[in-house]
Structure formats: C-alpha cells, structure tokens
Chain A
C-alpha cells in the first residue's frame, strides 16, 4: 500500500479544512454541494491524469466523454417508451443492420482491391449510395419516434434500471468512443492530437444535441431516478424524524413550548433531509473515487505503470525495448476516457437531468486540464487535489470577487456606473482567476502543486 509524504498529508488536511470552513461560513448544504462536484471533478481529473500523466497521451476530448457518460445515465435509467419503439424501432433496426453491412463492405473492399485509385473510387461510391439508402429508413424512423408525444417523450427512452449501473455503462460508452478516436488519431503529434480530440468531442456533443430520438437532444431529459432517497420521503419517514430528534435532543429539550418545539423540529427535518441526500451522494461518490484512486495507484506502481513512464519519457527507447507503443497508447487513452465517462454519468446522476447544450469546452475540457496541471500530472493525489482546489475556487471565486470589488470601490457611490458594471461582471472574474492560476503554476511550479514522485528502482 502507498504511503503519503508529509506535504501530501498537508494537502489532504487543506482539502478537508476547506469544506469545514465553508460549512461554518456558508452552511453545510453549500459545503456538501461543492464537495460533491469536487469529487466528480477529481475523478475526471484522474481520468485525464492517467493518460497524460502516466503516458503523455493528450486528451482534449474530456467534454465528449463526459457527454457519453451522461447519455449512458439516460439510457440506463429512463423507463423505456414502448410507443416509440413501436413507431420507429424497426426502421432503426434496419438502418443499423444496413450500416453494419456498409462497414463490412468497405472493409472488404479495402482488403481485396489493391490499386489505390480504384479503392478510393469504389469506397466513395459505396459509402455515398449506402448512406443514401440508410437515410431513407433512418429519417423515417427517427421522424416517427420524435412524433410520439413530443412534449414529454419523443425519444426511445432507456432500460429503466437503477441509475447507479450507468456509472459502469458510462465508462464503457466513453471507452468505446475513445477506442474509435484512438484508432484514428493517436498516431498524430501531441498538439495535433489535442486539436483533433477537441474537434471530435464537439462532434459527439453536436450529435447528442441534434439526434432527438436518442436523448431528446436540446429538449433535455429531466427527472432521472436518484440512487438516494428523495427529501420528501425522508421528511415523512419515521426513522429519519427520530434520527433528527435524537441528534438535536439537547437543543429541542430546551424549548418548552410544544408548538414551538414542533416548529423547530420541522425546520430541522427539512434542512436535515437536504443534507442527508447530499451526504449520501457524497458517500457514494467518495467510494467510487477511492476505488479508482486505489487502482490507479496500484497500476502506476506496477510494471505496467513503469512501462508507461518509459514510453512517456522516451518513446523511441521504449519501442526499441520491444514495447508496443501504439497499442499501449491506445490502451491508456481508452482507460483514461472510461474514467472520465464514469464521472460524466455521475454528473448527470447528481443533477438528475441531461442537458446536451450544457457541454461546453471551456467548462468541461479546459477547466479539467487546469485541474490536472495545477494538481500535478503523474500524481493521483495531485489530480484529486487539483480537482478539489480548482473547483473550489471556481465556485468561491464569485463571492470572493464581490467582496474584493466592494472593498476596492468602497469610496464610490452605490450607483456609480463603474461599480455597477464590475459587480455585474462578477461571474466572469472566475475565468480570469483560472487563467492566472494556470499561468502562474506553469511558470513557477511546472510540475504542479503535488509533483510526480521520482522513483528509482
């Protein structure tokens, strides 16, 4: 098992005390909301860190993999819509089969036709006409599906399973997409790869946005089932009321008036139910994070992890030692993406809704990369730390900025145009903070706050 150094303990203490601090200042509910997102961010960061920190494979497609995880959450947990299946299931099935036939035909042509020019011509012809035929079935089917009760349905629905399964499925979805991307793009130089993965993640998101039969597209899916109890159920459950009464017994016993006491108890139950729900989420997420952290560390210390470092530090030498660099790059890209996919499914689980238009590269790709760089690439604890600290500052940037602006403009009238303008633009200061943090870290601590440990073995 791994041991933490002293400064790593310091980092862990800082993380925990941040939440306790916020808990006392802004309330435990706020603190838990931030904590949940921090944990999810930490998982995303670990995913990116595995491919970038271990093997030097750049992955700017974070947004796309998150979206795939989100899609999994919808497809696993939403109850199936039978009318939609009846309306368009057959057409979709036919077009799917035709698509497979098309792919096989193209592979067959690539294998048999040797002359390059003929191959290109044949391929383009087959793909063109194939797509024309498939479109006929496909557009018909999707049109029918989207017509089924468009206000609340209009898509195929899911499997109706507990949403917690989607965390695994989300990982698989993302891994599948990553496999295709990796096959296509991993041979490219790192900055090309960054641009290509960024581009493909945009394609993934635009497909999710506009294929309404799959996940309602921009109409969003709401009301996904939770893996934890609902507040309203808790408020009526005897055991929960008893628990709250027990925990606050000293406070309640001081109140003599019965109606007052009931009033206080009710408020406590309402507050408590919210905190209980968030706490259950936090525990679930924490378990996932610790499992991933454990295995990521295990892998890093294993011979496989050593090989990855060798490939990262000197690709040519690793190749000469008989390591299959291309294959290993693909493997680690897929693993990293799968972890991001898990985080994506968890994100949708937490929100209870799937909004494809919410996936923006600034928020879901670049911020995650800042987390990786700031935390320390190649170190899993660093990744978690980066996720926590950056998300924390992302959220807390607004109140802090408001405070600073108010202090700086204290001499100005409350109706002063400049002051009002600055207070209006408070949400944008977080971008400034993020950029400055990234630039400062890259300049003065390029290996991150918790750098990778150099191992001599």
Chain B
C-alpha cells in the first residue's frame, strides 16, 4: 500500500503537476491563436512574440516595483505588474492591427498572405524585444518559491517520495481557471461574445444582422492581448524568461490549437493539455514508478523511457501530424467559436 502511494506521488510530482501547469500555459496561448483564427481567419505566427512582449513589459515593471520596494509579500511581484503588461500587450495588438492587419482584412486577402504578414510582424516585435531587453535568460519570480517543499511533504506524510508544489505552478493553475471561466462566460452570455460567435460562424450573415465587424475585431484583439500576456508571463514565471524560447513555443501552441480543432476555444484548451501531457509522458523515465509498483524480481533494468528528453519538442509535432492524418478537423470540430 505504501509502495502504491509512493508511486502515485512520483506520478503527481513529475508528470501531473508539471503537466497541468505547462498545459495551462499552452492552453492560454492556443486560445489566443484560436481567437485570431476564428475571427480574423489567419494563422498568427506572431503570437509567440506577442506573448514574449507581454512578459517583457511585466518584467520591466516588476523590476521597477522591486526597486521601489513595492511587493505582494509571499506572492511574486510580477502579479502586480501583470495588469500593466496586459494593457501594453493590448495596445501592441491594436497598433499592429491598425497599421498592418486591417489593410489586408479590407482587401479580403487570402489567409496565406495574412500569415506571411504575421511573420513580418513577428520579426518586428522580435527585434523590439531584443533591442529593449537583450537575449539573456531572466529569472523574475520572487516571493515565496515553494508552497510545499519535497522535504516538508516527506516529513508530513512519512512517505519515501516527496511532493514539491511551486507557487508559480499554483498561480498558473488558478489564473488559468479564472481566465478560462471568464472567457467562456463572455462568449456564451454577453452580447459582444455572442456577436463574436456569430461573426466567426458566418461573416456575411453577421454583417447582415448589423454586427459591427470593426468592433468584433477590436474586442478580439483585446482578448488576445490579455490571453497572450498572461500566458507569456506565466510561462516566464514558471520556467524563466528567455526571448528565444517564445519562438519555439509557437509550434506547440499551434499544435495545441490544431489538435483541439482550430477555431474551437474549448478544443484549444483541451489541445493544450493533450500536448503538454504527451510531451511530458512520452519523455519521462518511468523507472522509479515501476520500482515501487512491481515486485523486486520484475524490476526494470533500463530507464523505461519511451523517448529521450531531447525529443520533447518533436513529440508535439508528431502528435500534430498524427491527429491531422487521422482526424484533420481536430478532436473537436472547429471553425466556430
């Protein structure tokens, strides 16, 4: 029985908790991509950089608050700076729409052209970020690092295995739940949300019913800005902030959005967790888990690892390819908010 509990703790500590927090970050990112895809109808390659931009502004203000000795006690100061980051990200989104994307929307350009345009935007934001903050790795989490340390847990329960709970993980999960609830409530219950759904379902019909497309697009960028900034900041808070990471993060995010069924917000969230868990589960070495579970005669000799951790990124794309082959529309049929 103790062995069984130990093995469960191993899974919790190394797979489930990291999976949920990484999955939440991906889900928020994928939700942003999905909004752009469903309303503006293109694949936004700049999304990673928008996330990075939000995180950067948050970091700059975190530093400012830290220098002013303003803090939140046990909570990271970044939470205090986050609203400013969100506002800056929204402004960035709206500026890029006004100066770049709007023109092509009025021209009714094909999605590929818009995707190319978003690559241009990606380069520009990328350059701005690097010029402002450089390319170094930045750790900006402060406050209490752990809610529960592995040692504490061992003492508390008397088990062999420890369960560590980072505060950044808990914050990630809580904020994600809040934000997702709000987003879905907004889409389902408010008038603007409903008009957005109508717009994504059938643009012409929505226009006929008197929905103002500019307003819908404006609201979309606001939501995208919020989601992107929060996702970027949480990712940076949990791991560490490095501008180059966010370009690599675009692909798992796209994978999440497509796996879930691109255009479907619920699918995007599910896709985020699917990608996160498969990345972690496929590359985790299960030896410890089996050591507890199996009698010592059957103990595995190797690491019991399906793929080495080097292939972490490759896993998400493989899943993307497999899903596209078996079920091209994704897990939840998309295209409609």
Within 8 A of B (CB), among A432-451: 432, 434-436, 438-439, 442-443, 446
Q: A435-B121, A438-B123 are in contact. Are A196 and B324 (CB under 8 A)?
A: yes
Q: A195-B254, A373-B116, A443-B103 are in contact. Are A185 and B310 (CB under 8 A)?
A: no
Are B111 and A206 in touch, CB under 8 angstroms?
no
Within 8 A of A (CB), among B282-337: 308, 310-311, 313-314, 316-318, 320-321, 324-325, 328
Are B127 and A203 in touch, CB under 8 angstroms?
no
Contact with A along B247-258 (1 / 0, CB 8 A): 100010011001
Q: A369-B119, A442-B116, A442-B117 are in contact. Are A199 and B127 (CB under 8 A)?
A: no
Within 8 A of B (CB), among A201-218: 202-203, 206-207, 209-210
Are B116 and A206 in touch, CB under 8 angstroms?
no
Within 8 A of A (CB), among B168-213: none
Report how far A422 CA is from B135 CA in the complex, Å: 14
- Interface check B113, CB cutoff 8 A: yes
- Interface check A294, CB cutoff 8 A: no
Are A438 and B116 in touch, CB under 8 angstroms?
yes
**Which of chain B's residues have a CB closer than 8 A to the CB of A188?**
324, 328
Which residue of A is nearest B43, CB measured?
A191
Which residue of B is nearest A361, CB measured?
B247
Are B310 and A206 in touch, CB under 8 angstroms?
yes
Within 8 A of B (CB), among A411-457: 422, 424-425, 428-432, 434-436, 438-439, 442-443, 446
- Interface check A256, CB cutoff 8 A: no
Which residue of A is nearest B126, CB measured?
A431
Which residue of A is nearest B107, CB measured?
A446
Which residue of A is nearest B46, CB measured?
A435
> Nearest Cβ in chain B — how far from A14, in angstroms?
23
Q: How many residues belonging to A are interface residues under a CB distance threshold of 8 Å? A: 43
- Interface check B16, CB cutoff 8 A: no
> Nearest Cβ in chain B — how far from A260, in angstroms?
48
Which residue of A is nearest B308, CB measured?
A210
Contact with A along B119-147 (1 / 0, CB 8 A): 11111111110110011000000000000
**Which of chain B's residues have a CB closer than 8 A to the CB of A202?**
251, 313-314, 317
- Interface check B84, CB cutoff 8 A: no
**Which of chain B's residues have a CB closer than 8 A to the CB of A428?**
127, 130-131, 135
Among A191, A424, A443, find the residue whose CB has the most chain B CB atoms closer than 10 A. Answer: A191
Which residue of A is nearest B312, CB measured?
A206
Report how far A442 CA is from B313 CA in the complex, Å: 32
Within 8 A of A (CB), among B262-283: 262
- Interface check B221, CB cutoff 8 A: no
Report how far A199 CA is from B116 CA in the complex, Å: 17
Q: A202-B313, A369-B116, A443-B103 are in contact. Are A196 and B321 (CB under 8 A)?
A: yes
> Nearest Cβ in chain A — how far from B171, in angstroms?
30
Are A425 and B134 in touch, CB under 8 angstroms?
yes
- Interface check B42, CB cutoff 8 A: yes
Are B130 and A425 in touch, CB under 8 angstroms?
yes
**Which of chain A's residues have a CB closer than 8 A to the CB of B313?**
202, 206
Are B314 and A439 in touch, CB under 8 angstroms?
no
Are A439 and B122 in touch, CB under 8 angstroms?
no
**Which of chain B's residues have a CB closer than 8 A to the CB of A424?**
134
Contact with A along B95-112 (1 / 0, CB 8 A): 000001001000000111
- Interface check A58, CB cutoff 8 A: yes
Are A435 and B43 in touch, CB under 8 angstroms?
no
Are B251 and A199 in touch, CB under 8 angstroms?
yes
Are B127 and A431 in touch, CB under 8 angstroms?
yes
Are A194 and B115 in touch, CB under 8 angstroms?
yes
Q: A188-B324, A199-B321, A439-B117 are in contact. Are A194 and B112 (CB under 8 A)?
A: yes
**Which of chain B's residues have a CB closer than 8 A to the CB of A134?**
none
A195 touches which one: B113, B258, B325 (CB < 8 A)? B258
Report how far A428 CA is from B121 CA in the complex, Å: 15
> Nearest Cβ in chain B — how far from A453, in angstroms?
21
**Which of chain B's residues have a CB closer than 8 A to the CB of A442?**
113, 116-117, 120
Report how far A161 CA is from B116 CA in the complex, Å: 41
Are B123 and A435 in touch, CB under 8 angstroms?
yes
- Interface check A200, CB cutoff 8 A: yes
Are B43 and A199 in touch, CB under 8 angstroms?
no
**Which of chain A's residues have a CB closer than 8 A to the CB of B123?**
366, 370, 431-432, 434-435, 438
> Nearest Cβ in chain B — how far from A31, in angstroms?
26
Are A432 and B115 in touch, CB under 8 angstroms?
no
Which residue of B is nearest A424, CB measured?
B134
- Interface check A320, CB cutoff 8 A: no
- Interface check A198, CB cutoff 8 A: yes
Within 8 A of B (CB), among A370-401: 370, 373
Are B247 and A362 in touch, CB under 8 angstroms?
yes
A194 touches which one: B43, B126, B255, B324 (CB < 8 A)? B43
**Which of chain A's residues have a CB closer than 8 A to the CB of B100?**
439
A191 touches which one: B115, B128, B311 (CB < 8 A)? B115
**Which of chain A's residues have a CB closer than 8 A to the CB of B308?**
210
Are A195 and B251 in touch, CB under 8 angstroms?
yes
A366 touches which one: B119, B134, B254, B314 (CB < 8 A)? B119
**Which of chain A's residues have a CB closer than 8 A to the CB of B311?**
206, 210
Which residue of B is nearest A190, CB measured?
B112
**Which of chain B's residues have a CB closer than 8 A to the CB of A436?**
120, 124
Are B128 and A432 in touch, CB under 8 angstroms?
yes
Report how far A77 CA is from B311 CA in the complex, Å: 28
**Which of chain A's residues have a CB closer than 8 A to the CB of B111?**
189-191
Could you tell me which B residues sit within 8 Å of A by CB distance?
A: 42-43, 100, 103, 110-113, 115-117, 119-128, 130-131, 134-135, 247, 251, 254-255, 258, 262, 308, 310-311, 313-314, 316-318, 320-321, 324-325, 328
14 pairs from A and B in contact (CB 8 Å cutoff) = A185-B321, A185-B324, A191-B42, A195-B254, A196-B320, A199-B254, A203-B317, A209-B310, A362-B247, A366-B122, A370-B119, A431-B123, A435-B120, A438-B116
Top-5 shortest CB links A-B: A435-B123, A199-B317, A432-B127, A435-B124, A431-B127
Q: A190-B112, A194-B115 are in contact. List 4 more A-B contacts (CB 8 A).
A: A58-B112, A210-B308, A422-B131, A430-B127
